[in-house]
Each structure stands twice: as C-alpha cells, then as structure tokens.
Amino acid sequence: MKKQLLSILVVLFVFLSVSAQKTKIENLPNFDKKPWNFGYYLGINQNSFVVDYRPSNFTNTKVKVEPHIGFIIGVMGEKRLHKNLSLRFEPGLISNSKNLYFSNDNGSFLVKKDSLREVSATFMHLPLLFKFSTDRLRNIKPYVVGGFSLDYNFSANDENPDDNFSGEFRSKRWNTMYEVGIGIDFYTPYFKFSPSIRGLFNINNELIDDNQGAASPWTGPIERLSTRGIFLKLTFE
C-alpha cells in the first residue's frame, strides 16, 4: 500500500507541476510576504509497527503487522522566518487500525482469540516542524519539512489492569515522534495548495508489558514496539 501512496503522489505532483508551469501569470505574488499563514489539511495515512525481539522461552516468536488505511485532518499555522524558511505548527487528528498476528513454536497461539489482536487508535498529533523551501518557480515551490511531535493516543488502555491474557493489548498514551517529508506548493488564483508525503517515526517504546512479564507469550519476547507511518497530506492555505 505504501508503494500505491507514493505512486499517487508522484502522478499528482507531475500533473499539477505541468499545469502550474503552463500558466504564464504568477498567481498570488504577495502570498509569501505575509509574516503568518494559516490553513487546514486532510489526507490518508498507513501506520505500522516495527517490532524488536529479545531472548525468551518462546522460540521463534513472530508478530505480523497488517496495517489499514486511516485518515488525517487538522489545521496549520506558519510563521515566516526567512524567504526560504518557516516554522509550522500542524495540530490534527490521526485515525487508523492494524491487526497483529502472533505466532511461535511453543503452541501458544493455536486459536484466533489468542493469535489475533486488533489495534485501533485515534491520535492527537502535535507536530512542530521546520519547512525549507526553494525559490518560487512561477507557480510552484518545492520544499522539505522536518521536526518533532507529541502524539496523544485517545484509544490507549495503559491504565487497564487487564492484559493479553484477557484479550487486551496495551500501549502507551503519550509518544514522541519525528517527522520528515517532501512536498510542493502550488499557487492557484485563489489559494495555495500543497500536497506532501510524510514519514512518521516513533522514538520511544509504545508497548506495555503484560502483568506476567517474561511469562507472557505476547509481550515477553518483545523488546520494543514502535510506530512507523506514511502520510499523504493535502494542505490548503
């Protein structure tokens, strides 16, 4: 699915770039001279987990992650620092889900209720990002963006005393991420439209161990569980 998102973005970039360059009139010539800009964004995302394992009594433990497409929506504010540099705050909501399939050689996951965990999440995403742009080329301006974010998981069950032995897969409520991406600003006669593709990477371990510690076949063999995500984001200013 990530390859499909990349393909969609490439086609969109090429189409809009050709269309923008055919226009001889420079749209919104004073747009980037304003000290502040505001807008909103929407898009789609696909978040998965990277799983790091540790030695345990459960041999050949594997966790297969099956991510599903989710949505993103939010607002943005941008402070112009320089002709080619700005600081952006893009608070929003991220919603997605994924299935985790557990297996090992010990026979711990012979029935579906033990081998499958459905993980759904809605995050409040709070990124603070630097945006580095090229000089404007008529009605387009490519850019790269990068920074850090705090993410609050509304669906987290970190305070739930039940664990995987009761069917509850637990994760942390607050997470720290770093985000990088590329995009292009397109200047239309009425607004600026900016498609971009972003990568999201968790810095901390999201997993909460089961109460039984190393005796748990679900979390005992897992050292670290971290989000890796990709966004296709459309911003309107």
Q: What are phi and psi of 161, to 5 degrees?
A: -70, -20
* Single-letter code of the amino acid located at 230: I
Q: Which residues pair with 37 in a beta bridge?
A: 78
pLDDT given at position 103: 94
Q: Is the pLDDT reported for residue 119 higher than 80?
A: yes
Distance between CA 10 and CA 13 in Å, rounded? 5
Q: Where are the domains of the chain?
A: 2-24+43-236
pLDDT given at position 157: 85
Q: Is the pLDDT reported for residue 4 higher than 70?
A: no
Q: Is the pLDDT reported for residue 182 higher than 50?
A: yes
pLDDT given at position 114: 93
Shortest CA distance to 203 belongs to which of 236, 187, 167, 179? Answer: 179
pLDDT confidence of 10, banded at 50, 70, 90? low
Q: How far is CA 127 from each of CA 21, 115, 147, 206, rounded to the nearest angstrom?
A: 32, 34, 7, 18
pLDDT given at position 38: 97
As a whole number, the mean pLDDT across the chain is: 90
Q: Which residues pair with 235 in a beta bridge?
A: 41, 194
> For 2-24+43-236, CATH number?
2.40.160.20
Q: What are phi and psi of 165, to 5 degrees?
A: -65, -20
pLDDT given at position 164: 94
Distance between CA 157 and CA 206 in Å, rounded? 12
Report the relative pairing of strands 92-103 and 85-89 from DSSP bridges: unpaired
Percent of the chain with pLDDT over 70: 90
58-105: per-residue pLDDT in tens?
999 999 999 999 999 999 999 999 999 999 999 999 999 999 999 999
pLDDT given at position 20: 47
pLDDT given at position 155: 87
Q: Is the pLDDT reported for residue 22 higher than 70?
A: no
Distance between CA 213 and CA 171 in Å, rounded? 15
Contact 121, 96 (CB under 8 A): yes
Q: 1-10, 49-58, 149-158: which range is least confident on average?
A: 1-10
Mean pLDDT across 20-45:
86
* Single-letter code of the amino acid located at 166: S
pLDDT given at position 25: 86
Distance between CA 109 and CA 105 in Å, rounded? 9
Q: CA dihedral in degrees (62, 199, 179, 99; nearest 10)?
A: -40
| CA 129 centroid distance within chain | 14
Q: Is the pLDDT reported for residue 1 higher than 80?
A: no
